[in-house]
Structure 1
């Protein structure tokens, strides 16, 4: 099947995104994600007839599933990923030629074998900076726990002190702190019998003393060697001293002796840059005596206690209402007594009424006293619950500096590698951050800072030519604001080139030229967050692959955060992240949709608006309104959530506006929303993934509230916007002009688009789903005449998807075709056993087999 330009363009985008995902997944050893990306690449390549390219992707897929840790350090794997990337980086029309030219390299890569179960070759790093390997260790020593904590502290002090001394060679307090740290480490190591560490720390102490006294020059060789020593010790600490490579430690000590005697000759390349390209693993558990699960449970209970105490106030208000009613009755009694005065024979009645009046006043006084006591109890209870919540929350919190401790060293190494001068500052280092959020932040912030070092900060010569000081500056700041954690990373470099971003958008065919003419700055910069998107023409060890900001965006989606990007040409760039302080309690906006309560995470809400009918305009079946100079698409929240009833037309509409990747979306709601703090409760795993819903909570009166998944909701809205199916129901007669409605389920965009074009060309209406779970959600909400499904898909594979479809009463008889590259008899049998009506290979697209099977099954 010959590939037309549009299909090549789709393949190029999918291939670049897949390679970017592989490169992002390998450092974190996420084998499932890497394999899923390789699988998508394999399917897309086979669809276009790039068989050897597809075979290499399949080989990588198997390697990632077999042993991702070994694959991540295997040079043959890295080379194979590079080949796949190079073929996809050329303009789409040149991809067939590029694949053909690379065939010899692809063949060699296919024969390489990927010996994952064998030990991977050691990286080309001198023994002095290799990670220590164990012979024996003092882990059973009674003093080891105390020693390990001390070693962690002194190791961190060594790294921090070296950075300070390198920035300011005359900083005597920094030299003193380094001498104290090495001396303390020497003494602690002697207690537990680590003689190699005693010797190395002693040599380091001598070196710092010599530098302080001017007996040795604190030059580049001095700092490189001492940083290598600090790295070696940090590696041993991270490994909990599971043995000691005494020869490597001895080599480092000998190098220090040579440095002191003036005979030291540094190795040509230390490899420090690659050693710090990812955050070092952090030893954990040494000082925490409570399991993470127990801590999470405590956090949930404390948060629930805080919210539950907020429900006491309505009871007090109810008691006040009762008191007010009693006072009204007392007034009526008094009026009756006054009315009976002077009436003949009324004395007895007046006496009884007086007794009733006095009893009522006593009851009112009692109720008033109870209200006061209840109010005091309520205040104390809320105070205690608040203190409990704060204490448990603080036990989960860690200072922001814990998550960014490796960044100053990383900046130093990158600056040295590229011949730049960079001053890196961290403000708000003590800002408390939830440990779960902080762990996810590390990698994201590392990528932002690396981009600032590489893309942003210029060389000293370039800065001086631009009238700037030769040393660039990167500032990272963390603070709390309005219940959220905010983090900014700014630099005074060259800034983001809007022209380069626009050029890359057009080159990748991500937007039409006429669209780019009116695009806002926020919308333009949002393209930087796409997988595989980079404006850098060359690829380095640090950046240029389009992975970094995609990692940031993925992290933000996981924790429910947002990012904003600003830049000024020649003056620098700034990235600001907004995240929840904790993930246990959600600051939310509670709204009504189709008569039911739903909640938006407040961090994702851009604005709430009330629109008059005159402010809403219709263009080609779509409805829009203007906000802050932007045109915002409007969709019924009920329709987006799958409710079929049309909206109740009125003179005004309430809407919540959410932001996603620089775009704004308006969602119609029933009434004015209310802000609330909700305790987040995960949905039961048996429910699976509910469309557009992430979790649940309870309102103050005990009613369930579903918390919306904004990313899922935006995808649903995009479908409405692209189809024109907005606030109004699709006319029934539109259905009759189509031969049938078909659902295509495949995780490869190239395969989906190929099937969609074939089916729509034959007169069918086609919906698409990106995986089995997305397909299942579509089947639950819609009725189809036929379903086409792949087998290998994330979240829910084809066999599981078909079994679920067959379990749904209304879809039991819907014809299903499996279309897969797998042509084994056992796969065919398994597919038919699961409930498929036909099993085709993807070669069926090259003739009429596929479309004829569709026609035969629909016609019945």
Structure 2
């Protein structure tokens, strides 16, 4: 990192820590001995001292050092943080702000800092100390703390930095050649950048595998601890047995055996204690590595993602000229204001925005801004203003086009809807403002009676709507009579990562992009009403149609487990519906994995992704879902559950644990068994299977042999040795089909041995039925 970058980081650090210190000192004025506030202030001063030392700003080091000493003294009860002391410390905060604002070789004079240090030291030592503090040439204002932050990294600071005299280090010069080098642009192929982002995303997912692995190792540590206790108990038992021998009869063979046994046990205990110590150390190292790997992978992904981002201004170059030309052709006066030019936008999204934004801007000039004479009659300036703004908020990109024109003529819009036979006159009269405005996005819809070079063809707003939907976004319009119209696009920050609601449908996880999710609800089953043969429920004063996700995906049959229904509300406006899912699994950021193009368009599915544990899931295409729901609401129903069916569904299914490190085999076995009604849980290796079988109840365990961490033979042996699990049926399914392999598995305690090379669907199902019967009794 160059010296200039370090200076920028220090400025950000000074700004942040000054705010923390200022807030903390004001809090200490109300509670002078609050330990949490004192600790926060001490840490802020300590971090600032380390940052100033790294950059080579000795006045910052001296200033932060004495303030840190003051807070440490207050923590220890040696320093009284009274109002006078806070006045001095706040003056120190002012100096910190000035040091952070200084540029180039300019900085706060050393003499001024020395005066502050002497005054603070004097007050800490109990001396009456009054010094005329020179006025600052750069007064601190509240605006300083409200500056936008371009940097979010803080300079690394060690927690155990020495507190001795601080060496002075000149700030390295940054030559013009170095400046040119730092901003040098390189051309990179798009597909290369996409591969880099894909690999970094996979790296991020893989790094998150370490945490559950480390947690599983903690279980191993607990097992070893239990083994140690068992050894201690055995050692005590043998010691008591040895002591009970008759000492007058001399050393008996049994006693001699006990002595040898005790010696061997002592050695085993010593080795076990050493193994436990080393395991503990390795676990600490693994946890540290997990943190470093996850942090590094996150940084790698963030940097790769940043390479895809471009400033919003890159897409706005020709808009000012276009607005001017359209306005002149319509004899209007219009000014375009662009806000958020530096807002970072995904490259692919930015490339798709030029045409939609052009449509919206032309629409604003033509339909929104009035003629100068009309504006003057309304008391407005003759020149209208159109504002194009881009901003980030709540994990989304918002782009708006607004004007200060006359708004939408709702009466004319109603007439156009009726004239185009899109609604009856009676129905159009009942439509709300929001429902009326949605008609603007219909294909071929226009409020112009004649076609001009600018409008009248009805191909503008529907094209905008289509593009927004393609990038998994949404488009809304609002207006105020005589005050203007606003079109707001909500788009994902990137097409590579999407925040999704994870739900379970027929035992499978699915991701629902949050941009299309209105609300999640848990509804009592009694709240579903049947009106005119269709099922509805009450939502924000409206009645919404409702279906199940099983009907949309044609996946299994929905059976309500109880009286509560998990409902996802999707869509917008009149096209808003409720979809019932089995379970909510939370929200996650998903790295989007496009489906293979050879598959074509998969109905109801947009892409794939990997969850944090590496499990695959499908990302729903909610536009497809909405189209499917519209059909289902007409002739479909929310799979009603009669009393008899509900009772049958409540009967527990036979539970099977499938343990295999091959994803293909694991999924094949799971789907075969699930299709016959068994409740199937999967484990990715022997240790995962051992943890699962001990923490839950299963009617059958199906396991492979060759697996990492714990093989199938060892897993069978552990199950057979456990008093609580020894009666659980176990089937081995392995590629090893030699007689000796089969005998080894049966000797370990397996009830059935099936070779993968010879089994087919019915063979596996028949074997399972022979061992535990049908899925439901």
Counterpart of 1:323 in structure 2 is: 221
1:294 Cα deviation (Å)? 2.0
Partners of 1:464 and 1:361 lie apart in 2 by 90
Distance 2:227 2:564 in 1: 43
Residue correspondences, number: 445
CA contact (8 A) 2:500 2:512 kept: yes
Any idea what SS the aligned residue of 2:385 has? strand
Q: Say which SS state the counterpart of residue 422 (structure 2) adopts.
A: coil
Change (3 A) 1:513 1:378: farther
Distance between the aligned counterparts of 2:206 and 2:588, measured in 1? 13
TM-score normalised to structure 2 length: 0.54
3-state SS of paired residue (2:639): coil
1:632 maps onto 2:544 in alignment: yes
8 Å contact kept, 2:528–2:537: yes
Report the Cα distance in structure 2 between the residues aligned to 1:350 and 1:505, rounded to whole angstroms: 96
1:123-272 superposed matches below 5 A:
none
CA–CA distance in structure 1, aligned partners of residues 239 and 480 of structure 2: 87
Pair 1:443–1:288, CA change in 2 (3 A): farther
Aligned to 1:300: 198
Choose from 362, 374, 388 the match for 1:462: 374
Partner of residue 254, structure 2: none
Matched-pair contact (CA < 8 Å) for 1:590–1:600: yes
Cα displacement (A) at 1:319: 1.6
Is the CA contact (8 Å cut-off) linking 2:474 and 2:515 kept in structure 1? yes
From 454, 466, 483, the equivalent of 1:571 is: 483
Bigger relative CO (Cα 8 Å, ≥ 6 apart) = 1
CA–CA distance in 2 between the matches of 1:513 and 1:365? 82
Distance 1:292 1:329 in 2: 57
Secondary structure, counterpart of 1:509 in structure 2: coil
Out of 351, 360, 368, which is 1:439 matched to?
Answer: 351
1:375 aligns with 2:287: yes
Indicate if the aligned counterparts of 2:501 and 2:512 stay in contact, CA closer than 8 A.
Answer: yes
Q: Which residue of 1 aligns with 2:313?
A: 401
Shift of 1:491: 1.5
Secondary structure in structure 1 of the residue aligned to 2:470: helix
**8 Å Cα contact 1:620/1:724 also seen in 2:** no
Are the aligned partners of 1:307 and 1:677 in contact in 2 as well (CA < 8 Å)?
no
Aligned position for 2:583: 671
Give the direction of change, closer, same or farther, for the CA distance of 1:351–1:591 in structure 2 (3 Å limit): same
Unpaired stretches in structure 1, ≥5 consecutive residues: 1-285, 730-860
Equivalence for 2:611:
699
- Whether 1:494 and 2:392 are equivalent positions in the alignment is no
Give distance in 1, aligned partners of 2:406 and 2:262.
Answer: 93
- CA shift, 1:514, in A, is 5.0
Partners of 1:312 and 1:656 in 2: CA distance:
33
In structure 2, distance between residues paired with 1:693 and 1:530: 24
Q: Is the 8 A contact 2:568 2:580 kept in 1?
A: yes
Structure 1 pair 512/723, CA: closer, same or farther in 2 (3 Å)? farther
> 1:310: which partner in 2?
208
Task: Provide, for residues 647-704 of structure 1, a one-character-per-residue CA deviation record: whole Å limited to 9, x for no partner.
Answer: 3463011121111465212111111132122232232333332221122223334433
**Which deviates further from its counterpart, 514-523 or 598-607?**
514-523
Pairing 1:638-657 to 2, within 5 Å after superposition: 638-643=550-555, 645-648=557-560, 650-657=562-569
> Is structure 2 residue 330 aligned with structure 1 residue 418?
yes
Q: Give the distance between the partners of 2:283 and 2:410, measured in 1 at CA.
A: 64
Given the superposition, is the C-alpha separation of residues 558 and 344 from structure 1 closer, same or farther in structure 2, using an over 3 Å criterion?
Answer: same
1:476/1:379 Cα in 2 relative to 1: closer, same or farther (>3 Å)?
same
Match of 1:620 among 532, 553, 558: 532
Hey, what does 1:611 align to over in structure 2? 523
Residue 360 of structure 2 is aligned with which of 434, 448, 458? Answer: 448
Structure 1 residues 481 and 662 mapped into 2: Cα distance closer, same or farther (>3 Å)? Answer: farther
Match of 1:511 among 414, 417, 423: 423
Deviation string 1:548-590 (CA, Å, 9 cap, x unpaired) is: 1111111112111111211111111111111122212222222
Q: How far off is 1:623 after superposition?
A: 1.4
Q: Distance in 2 between matches of 1:525 and 1:360?
A: 75
State the 1:637 CA deviation: 0.4
Of the three residues 464, 480, 497, the one matched with 1:585 is 497
Q: Is the 8 A contact 2:339 2:390 kept in 1?
A: yes
Q: Which residue, 395, 413, 437 being the options, matches 1:525?
A: 437
Offset of 1:644 from its aligned partner?
Answer: 5.8
Contact 1:591 1:670 (C-alpha < 8 Å) held by counterparts = yes
SS at match of 1:673: strand
1:319/1:458 Cα in 2 relative to 1: closer, same or farther (>3 Å)?
Answer: same
CA distance in 2: counterparts of 1:575 and 1:385, whole angstroms: 38
Give the conservation status (yes or no) of the 8 Å contact 2:208–2:613.
Answer: no
Determine the structure 2 residue equivalent to 1:561: 473
Q: What is the DSSP-based 3-state SS (H/G/I as helix, E as strand, rest coil) of the residue aligned with 1:422?
A: strand
Aligned positions of 1:713-792 closer than 5 A: 713-728=625-640
CA distance in 2, matches of 1:325, 1:515: 71
- Distance in 2 between the 1:486 and 1:414 partners? 25
Q: Which residue of 2 aligns with 1:686?
A: 598
Cα displacement (A) at 1:457: 1.3
Confirm or deny: 8 A CA contact 1:522 1:564 kept in the other structure.
Answer: no
Match of 1:598 among 505, 510, 519: 510
Assess, with a 3 A threshold, how the Cα gap between structure 1 residues 355 and 465 changes in structure 2: closer, same or farther. farther
Compared CA separation, residues 360 and 506, structure 1 to 2 (3 A)? farther
1:511 positional shift: 3.1
| Matched-pair contact (CA < 8 Å) for 1:523–1:663 | no
For 1:339 and 1:656, the matched residues in 2 are separated by 62
Say if 1:703 and 1:387 are closer, same or farther in 2 by CA, change over 3 A.
closer
Contact 2:205 2:614 in 1 (8 A): no
Residues 316, 375 of structure 1: 8 Å contact kept: yes
Residue deviations 1:229-260, cap 9 Å, x none? xxxxxxxxxxxxxxxxxxxxxxxxxxxxxxxx
**TM-superposed deviation, 1:601:** 1.5
Distance 1:593 1:521, change over 3 A: farther
Two-structure CA RMSD over aligned residues (Å):
2.7
Determine if contact 2:520/2:568 at 8 Å carries over to the other structure: yes
For structure 2, list consecutive stretches of 5 or more residues without a partner in the other structure.
1-183, 245-257, 642-777
Distance 1:431 1:649 in 2: 47
Change (3 A) 1:360 1:535: farther
Which is worse superposed, 329-338 or 438-447?
A: 329-338
Note the alpha carbon deviations across 1:118-168, whole angstroms, 9 max, x for none: xxxxxxxxxxxxxxxxxxxxxxxxxxxxxxxxxxxxxxxxxxxxxxxxxxx
SS state of the match for residue 607, structure 1?
strand
Contact 1:456 1:572 (C-alpha < 8 Å) held by counterparts: yes
Q: Note the C-alpha offset of 1:438.
A: 0.6
Separation (CA, whole Å) in 1 of partners of 2:219 and 2:376: 74
Native 8 Å contact 1:696 1:707 kept in 2: yes
CA apart distance, 1:615: 1.9
Superposition deviation, residue 499 in structure 1 = 2.3
